[in-house]
Amino acid sequence: MRFKITISCLLILAVTMYSFTRSDNNSAKEPTSTDPNQNKFILGAMHNFSDSVYTYLSDTLGFNIWHKYTIPNGWGWPTIGTNNTIPADRLDTPVYRYASAIRERIELNNSENLMTLLDRPKFEYLAFGQRSDYQCENASKVDPDYWFYTYYNNTDNGTSIKDTQDFTHGSGEYVKQCLYNQSNPGANAQMLFDSLKGNMEQINTHWPVTWLGDQHYDWYIMPRIRIDPAFANNPANQDIEVCKIIVKNRDGDSLTQIIKVKHFKPNFTGSIYHGNYLDTLYDEYPSDPITNLIIPAGDWFNDSAHISFGDTKCRIDFKVFWYDKCDMWIDRIRVEDKPAHEMMTLELPKIQEWIRAEVEDIVLAEPCGGNQSPYKFYIEEFEMNHLPSIGYLNKKIIQYSGGRLSLMVNYNHDLVKAFIPNSWGKLFSAV
């Protein structure tokens, strides 16, 4: 897939076309950009770096763009005059070790009247981070365009368990409110939701590249929950069970994590819980460790490379059982892999520096910053749950480049919707 020679880059679409956000009104607005290449017609072949001495690219074929596919480890850009990879141009090395060599290539491309489509190892790693937010409320309370991120079975009795807007500790989003039976705690314990609709976002183990399959990175299960702070700060309640998260794989095997009141505080004494939502709970208690909300890299979700999208028997699920012993509000279950977790949840300084340095110290630094060769950063085909990482990275690129650069993608319609039930009979609209 990634090694096809594509004769035109016209299939590349700006990632902002696939933003989850919507315009506040229907009026058209002229885009603003400082990109000197925005009005140029792009003609080229993907992975055309093999013409290492520029014999054919511009003179014979009339191309005006240069491109090379990369991967995070072991396969970056070539050295000048050869097809040999720059040894340091890989994920695990700091940008300063290869920045000058990359700038040299961009400047040479410019001298040959070629724009540079920037496929970079670190951005391959980051852009293909995966994040899915599975909504706990009934589908009727969710944007209908994203019905597949809800559950077939969803409890709402209108009293003790109901979907409500949270303006107290939220911003008015719908959440599932669960009020416990104070006269008989535990009497109404039950499953709140189960049977996820779009449940195939963790089973893609057949991709032939070594960083895109769902088995290559750890997965983080992050329920967004809050509980009653007065109840939580009572020392007598620390061992009371709040809920349990049940994670199922394709075959229906389960991992269960019990969440107790204590997990909302970093320690028993000296800390106060203020009733805020938590995505990551406190794992400071050896007798009650949180061990099953991180799924290690491997094939636990799907141990068959032959099973992929369209699997009607897939049983992956992220469901929640409430013990009815404590008031609880739950918004969603976030499932993200390591690259997305590092970049968007932890916002690791190392990752932020990668993005800044690739933009500022390479593309905007002289001599590259003074020529028109740098065109766009680029990634290839992606799935729906790559979009949060793609959008985050795109905004950072725009920020660090002052609007000079952005991230472009190759949109494969079938791949983006492949995890949706009966996806082959469904189409996305451009609206």
What are the helix (H) ranges across 229-385? 229-232, 338-340, 349-357
Domain finish residue from 303, 337, 371: 337
Here the tokens at position 237 are 């309640």
Residue 187 DSSP SS3: coil
Regarding whether 420 and 272 lie in a shared domain, the answer is: no
Domain identity same for 113 and 135: no
**Cβ atoms of 61 and 52 closer than 8 Å:** no
Does residue 96 sit in the same domain as residue 138?
no
Domain CATH code at residue 286: 2.60.120
Which one, of 357, 356, 363, 362, lies nearest residue 396 by Cα? 356
In whole angstroms, give the CA distance from residue 72 to residue 150: 33
Please indicate, yes or no, if residue 2 is contained in any of the structural domains: no
Stretch 341-365: mean pLDDT: 97
Residue 194 inside a domain? The answer is yes
In this prediction, residue 24 has a pLDDT band, given cuts at 50, 70 and 90, of very low
Give me the pLDDT at residue 20, please: 31
Q: What is the pLDDT of residues 296-320, one digit of tens each?
A: 999 999 988 777 677 778 999 999 9
Same-domain pairing of 139 and 287: yes
Q: How far apart are the C-alpha atoms of 46 and 44, rounded to whole Å?
A: 7
Q: What is the spatial distance between Cα 346 and Cα 353, in angstroms, rounded to a whole number?
A: 13
pLDDT for residue 1 is more than 70: no
Q: How far is CA 249 from CA 26, 196, 201, 298, in A?
A: 43, 12, 11, 12
Cβ atoms of 407 and 118 within 8 Å: the answer is: no
| Nearest-angstrom CA–CA distance, 115 and 12 | 15
Contact in structure between 191 and 319 (CB atoms under 8 Å): yes
pLDDT for residue 31: 40
How confident is the model at residue 88, as a pLDDT?
96
pLDDT digits (tens, 9 = 90+) for 12-22: 333 333 333 33
Domain boundary residue among 278, 308, 337?
Answer: 337
Peptide bond into 349 cis (omega under 30): no
My answer on whether 204 and 239 are in the same domain is yes
DSSP bridge pairs for 66: 116
Number of domains in the chain: 2
State percent of the chain over pLDDT 90: 73
- The arithmetic mean of pLDDT across residues 163-172, rounded, is 93
Asked whether residue 191 falls in the same domain as residue 266, the answer is: yes
Phi-psi region of 333 (alpha: psi -120 to 50; beta: other; left: phi over 0): beta
The string of pLDDT tens digits covering residues 27-78 is: 333 344 555 555 578 899 999 999 988 988 888 888 999 999 999 988 899 9
Q: Do 64 and 48 contact (CB within 8 A), yes or no?
A: no
More confident site: 32 or 387: 387
Phi, psi of 112 (to 5 degrees): -95, 15
Q: Are residues 262 and 367 in the same domain?
A: no
Verify that 309 and 271 share a domain, yes or no.
yes
Under a CB-based contact definition with an 8 Å cutoff, are residues 134 and 335 in contact? yes
Where residue 9 falls among pLDDT bands split at 50, 70, 90? very low
Query: What is residue 226's three-state secondary structure?
Result: strand
42 and 154 share one domain: no
The predicted structure's pLDDT at residue 28: 35
Buried b (16+ CB within 10 A) or exposed e, 44-57: bbbebbebeebeeb
In a domain, 430, yes or no: no
Residues 6+ apart with CB under 8 A from 110: 116, 367, 368, 371, 372, 373
pLDDT digits (tens, 9 = 90+) for 245-272: 999 999 999 999 999 999 999 987 778 9
Whether 276 has a pLDDT exceeding 90, the answer reads yes
Q: So what's the pLDDT on residue 58?
A: 81
Question: Has residue 4 got a pLDDT over 50?
Answer: no
Of 313, 337, 361, the domain-final residue: 337
Q: Specify whether 201 is located in the same domain as 319.
A: yes
Local confidence band at 174 (pLDDT 50, 70, 90 cut-offs): very high
Answer yes or no: do 175 and 307 share one domain. Answer: yes
Cβ–Cβ under 8 Å, residues 318 and 132: no
Least confident of 5-14, 153-162, 186-195: 5-14
Spatial contact of 122 and 325, defined as CB atoms under 8 Å apart: no
As a whole number, mean pLDDT of residues 178-198 equals 97
User: Is 1 a domain residue?
Assistant: no
Torsions phi, psi for 187 (to 5 deg): -65, -30
3-state secondary structure at position 255: strand
Rounded alpha-carbon distances, angstroms, from residue 38 to 123, 319, 368: 22, 47, 17
Residue 321 is assigned to a structural domain of this protein? yes
CB 194 within 8 Å of CB 317: yes
Q: Which residues contact 254 (CB under 8 A, 6 or more apart)?
A: 246, 247, 248
Judge whether 248 and 202 are in contact, CB under 8 Å. Answer: no
Residue 3 lies in a domain: no
pLDDT at residue 52 in the model: 87
Domain span at residue 174 reads: 131-337
Are 63 and 19 contained in the same domain?
A: yes
